[in-house]
Structure 1
Amino acid sequence: MRILGGGPEAGILGPGFLGGRDTAAVEDMDRPDCDPDRLRRTYEQFGLVNRVVAGWHRLYRTRVRPQLTSSGEAALLDVGCGGGDLAVMIARWAARDRIPLHVTGIDPDARAYRFAARRKPVPGVKFRQASSGDLLAEGRQYDVVISNHVLHHLTAPELQSFLDDSAGLARRLALHNDLRRSAAAYALFSAGALPLTGSYIRGDGLTSIRRSYTVTELAAVVPAGWTVEPHAPFHCLLSYRRHDTYGQGRA
C-alpha cells in the first residue's frame, strides 16, 4: 500500500475521545428493529448529505470519467449503494457528458434495496440485492468499482474480503471513499446536520465518524497494491488500479 499526501498526518489524534476507532458503536439504521419511517427519511436525505460532504463530483471528473471515455460503452458498480443516490448521480453526470454508462448499485440489506428499486427509473441504472462476493462468484466485471462510506462498517476480515472482491471485479479502477476521523469533522458535522430532523442522519453520522479511520490507520490494514490518501472534506480515499497482468484471461 501507499500513502499519498506527504508529511505527517494532520489528523492524528491523542488518547481519549476520538483517539481510536470506536468499533463497538452501532449505527441505529443498521439495527433490524429501527423505525422504518426514520429509515426511509434517512435514505431520502442521503443524496443531500453526499452531495455536500462526500466530494463525488470531483472524484467523478478526476478519477472516474477518465476511465470511461476511452472504453466505449462502460460499466460501473456501486457497492453498498444504500438508497441509490450516488448511482443515480453518476449516471446523470455520464449522460450529461455523453458517455454511455451502465451503473449497477448493489446492497445486501433488503431495506436499502427496496428503497433504491422504488426510485423513479433512470436510464442505465439498475439495483440488486447482492454483495460484492455474489457478483465475483458470478464472474462479473466492471470498468470502475466504487463505494461510499462503507469501509468503516466492516470488521477486519470483512475489509480484506471486500477489497479482494473489489480488485477482482474492477477491470480498471476500484475507488472507495470513506469518512476520515477527526475532531473537526465531528464538530462540524454535529452542527451542520442539526436541520436534518426526522432521520438517523445526525446521530448515525457522528457514530460513523467515531468508527472511521485516519489515513495512517487505513493504510496500515489494506493489502499491497492499494493507495490511501486524504480526500477533502474529511475523507479517506482508497484506490486500486488493475495491473495489465491482473486477472488475464477473465471474461
Structure 2
Amino acid sequence: MSETSTESPARILVVDDDPTVAEVVTGYLERSGYEVQRAGDGRAALHLFAARRPDLVVLDLMLPGVDGLEVCRRLRATEAGRDLPVVMLTAKGDEEDRILGLEVGADDYVTKPFSPRELVLRVRSVLRRSGPGAAAASGPASAGARLRAGDLEVDRSARRAFRAGRELALTLREFDLLAFLLQHPGTVFPREELMQRVWGWDFGDLSTVTVHVRRLREKIERDPGAPELISTVWGVGYRFDPAPTAGGTS
C-alpha cells in the first residue's frame, strides 16, 4: 500500500498497444499509489489527454497509426502539453530511436525489456522534479526563486523562463537544466554530473544530456550553431557563460 496522503494521486496515462505490457505497467503504478488511464494507440492517447490532462505520460514509441513520436510532437505543440512530463518506452536498442524520442520532447526513456520497478522509479523521479516542491529541491534555498543572467530570467516557483521579456516554451527537463546552469555560471559540468544533478540519476545514457543541451540552445541562443551562452568545453562538459546586460561591455 502507498503512504496515506491528503493530496489527490498523480494521474498517469499509459500508452502501449501491447495489452500485457500495459497491464503490468498499470498494475505496478496503481500499487504505487497512482491513478492510471490506458490507451492502446496514438489517437486514443490524444483523445484522453484532451479529455483529462494527466500529470505524466508513459508513451510507447512503436504504436499503430499515430506513433509515439508524433503523439509527443502533438502534445508538445499544445500549451497544456508543453511541459507535460513524458517517459518514452522503446522496444529498440538502437540509439537513433532513443535520440529521436528525446529530440521530440521526451523527458526520459526506458528501453524494453525493462523492469517495471525501474519504470516506477523513473516515473517517481520525473514527477518529483515537476511537482510543487521542485523549485525547492532543484537547488540551495539561498539561490532564490528567481534567477537572472543578462536578459534571461527564470522563475523557479512558477516554473517559467523568459528571454528579453518573452516567455520560453521549455519542457520539464529543459527548464531544470536552464535553472541549474543559471545557478552555477562559469562552472564546467561533465555530462555525468549533469545527469546526476539535473536528472537525479547516477546512471543513464549520456546522450540524453547532449540532446537536451542542443534543444535548450535552440531556444535561448541567438545562433544555436555558434552558442554564446552554453559553451562546450571539449573533453570536459558544458559551461554557462552569462551574456552581458544591455549597455554592458562584451
TM-score between both structures, scaled by the size of structure 2: 0.30
> Larger radius of gyration, structure 1 or 2?
2
Report 1 or 2 for greater relative contact order, CA contacts < 8 Å, sequence distance ≥ 6.
Answer: 1
